Structures are given as structure tokens and as C-alpha cells.
Amino acid sequence: MEHKLLGKAFLWLCLLIPLIGFSQGTVSGNVTDATYGGPVAGANVVIKGTSTGTTTDFDGNYEISISSFPATLVFSSLGYEPQEIRVTGARTLNVSLGESATGLDEVVVTGLGTTIKRGNLANAVSTVSSQELVGTTAQTTLDGALYGKLTGVNITSSSGAPGGGFALRLRGISSINGNNQPLYIVDGVYVNNAEIPSGLRFASGANRGNEENSSNRIADIDPNDIQNIEVLKGASAAAIYGTRANAGVVIITTKRGRQGKTDIRFSQDTGFNTIIKKLGLRPWTAQSVEDTFSAAEADLYNQAIASGGLIDYEDEIYGETGFITDTRISASGGGEKTRFFVGASYRDEEG
């Protein structure tokens, strides 16, 4: 009888060993940003209700051992909405975290190569994301994409000609004879946004103030290639970047490649330009011509009226419709160590 009891106990023990093995295991995966697809480094992965957890590495990878299933994993990181996911066994679990709606907990890139909480920042900061730039309506120029999206920023076009530049003023006029433009930084590189002479008056030797078609390099950036724009308007921005930032700082971050298969995107927009309202011509009469000039000029005016020789020069110059074609192609992808994003655009604008 004793041997039978020992045999049954040994049988139950053999049956329980696989169950104990199945109730514990390892969950691993990758945590990425839901907006741009890049890895989220330093994200917390914690088993809910316990103090057991881990953090993601530089590439967003994590691995956590769970002693008992089912369990709930909590994924969280600064600036992102936390997620709770229930797991019933060992598996690979990839998670995408969305941005948090709490603006004071967001971090802002500064000129010191570090980040700081928005609530602790002394500067007045405005942020425009890629979705806000081109998400609602297609914009082919950076100034057009920024209109109405930044408070306290005055945006003016320096030319209506194709390829014309634009100017931003963040804190009004800070110098009478100096440069009132903010400091532009694109992916950590200082960009000289000085106006480039062009147009007929430049060819004839006119000074810069009289050039009608001036351009600049920031106007060449395709808004579809921008990830976000940080605008530092406070006076303390000069403490970070020096006197060049006395009119503010515009930090432009371009899009990055994401790990995975190569993603190729192609788009083309077409449109047209037409003048909304012309200045109009002065309403001359034969009597007003004679009073202003002479009787001989009045006779010439009457002859021009009779022969249909009066020309509306404003309509001749601005009356035609200019067609626009904007073509863009981009490729992004990469592996664990190397990522890439390459974009090219071609703009044909009649003017």
C-alpha cells in the first residue's frame, strides 16, 4: 500500500513540473515612437503590482522575466502615454507609445546638447510637429506651412516670385541696421539665412534693399522632410547660443529613418497661381489727358481709343495663370545599427 502511495505522489509530481515550467517565462520586444517610428530608449517596462521591471536599451529593445502568467506589463516613458498590456505566456511583444497630451512633461532640445522639461524652461517655446505642418493640407513651401501655427511670430514673404524667400520675426525689431532674423539651426548645424541677391535689379547693380526677388536657404527646405520645429522666443535663448540668438532661435529637426524594411514614398502635387486683386488703372478721359499733359496728347488718346490701342499693362504682367508642379520622393529604413532617410523634391513654378 505504501508503494502505491509513493507511486501516485511521484506521478503527480511529474505532471506538475511541466505546469510550473509553463507558468514562467520571458517576454521581449521593442518599444518605438508611434509618431515617427524610432526607438524609445530608457522606457520603463514593469510588471503591474510588483517592483519587478526593466528599461529599454538605446535601440528600444527590452527583455523581462515573468515568474507567473498571466501578468500585466506597464510600458511608460517621459513624454508618452503609458500602456498596459496583458500577457498570458512567453512571447515577443512590440509596443508603440503615443505622445502624452501633458505639455509640461515634454522635453525640449536646447543648444547645450541636452533636453529639459518644458515646464522648467525659462524660454517661451512654440512647437510645430510634422503632422501640423503638412498633415491637413499639402504645403509646398515652409513659410506657407508655418502660417497661422506659431503665436507671436510674424512671417513675411520677401518676394512673390518663384523660389522667393521669407522672413521670420519672433520678438519684433531688435536692431535698426543689424539682422532681425532669428538664428536657424537644422539638425544641430547653424544655417546662414541671409538673403541671396537675384532678380533684374540685382543684374543691373541695384543695392540689396531694392532687390525684388531675393531668396534664402531656409525657403529651400521641403516641409514634408521636417519632423518638428522648436521656436525659442525668450530673451534667455541668447544665453545658450550667444548674440546671434538676440532675435530668437528656430530649431528644425528633419525626419529620421526607422528600423525595418525600406519604405519608399512618392507624391506629386499640382496647382496654379493667379493674382487675387489687381491695383487697377487710373480712369483717364480725353479732358483729363489734356489738362494733365497737352491737347496733342489728348488727340493721341482719342486715336488710341478708336483703334483699341490702349493696353492694360497690369493685366499683361500679372493676368496669366502660373502652374505649379511639386514632385517628391523619399526612402527610409535601416537595421539595428544604421538607419537612413533620403528625400528629394523638384518644384516647377511658372511666374
**Residues 213, 299: Cα–Cα separation, whole Å:** 39
pLDDT of amino acid 44 = 92
H or E stretch at 328: strand 322-334
pLDDT of amino acid 184 = 86
pLDDT of amino acid 93 = 94
What is the residue extent of each domain of the chain? 2-97, 103-255, 275-320
Instruction: Count each helix (H run) and each strand (E run) in the chain, helices first.
Output: 8, 20
Helix locations, 172-308, DSSP H: 200-203, 237-241, 286-292, 295-307
**Residues 347, 140: Cα–Cα separation, whole Å:** 8
- Region class of 126: left (phi > 0), else alpha (psi between -120 and 50), else beta: beta
Residue with cell 506659431: 150
The stretches in the chain having pLDDT less than 50 are 16-22, 104-105, 113-114, 117, 119-120, 122, 200-210
Q: How many CB atoms lie within 10 A of CB 267?
A: 12
What SS3 state is found at 173?
A: coil
**Residues 202, 18: Cα–Cα separation, whole Å:** 85
Are the CB atoms for 182 and 168 separated by under 8 Å?
A: yes
pLDDT of amino acid 329 = 92
Domains 2-97 and 103-255 share a fold: no
Residues 294-305 have pLDDT tens digits of: 888 888 888 888
Q: How many CB atoms lie within 10 A of CB 74?
A: 15
Architecture of domain 2-97: Sandwich (2.60)
**Residues 173, 291: Cα–Cα separation, whole Å:** 46
**Residues 139, 337: Cα–Cα separation, whole Å:** 33
Residues 173-232 have pLDDT tens digits of: 656 655 677 888 888 888 887 766 555 444 444 444 445 556 677 777 888 888 888 888
First to last CA, the chain: 104
The answer regarding whether domain 103-255 maps to CATH 3.30.420.40 reads: no
pLDDT of amino acid 348 = 84
**Residues 140, 272: Cα–Cα separation, whole Å:** 12
Q: What percent of the chain has pLDDT over 90?
A: 14
Please list, in sequence order, all residues whose beta carbon lies within 8 angstroms of the beta carbon of residue 312, skipping any fewer than 6 positions away. 281, 319
What's the CA dihedral at 262, 265, 266, 268 to 10 degrees? Answer: -160
Which string of b and e fits 313-324 if b means at least 16 CB within 10 Å?
Answer: eeeeeeeeeeeb
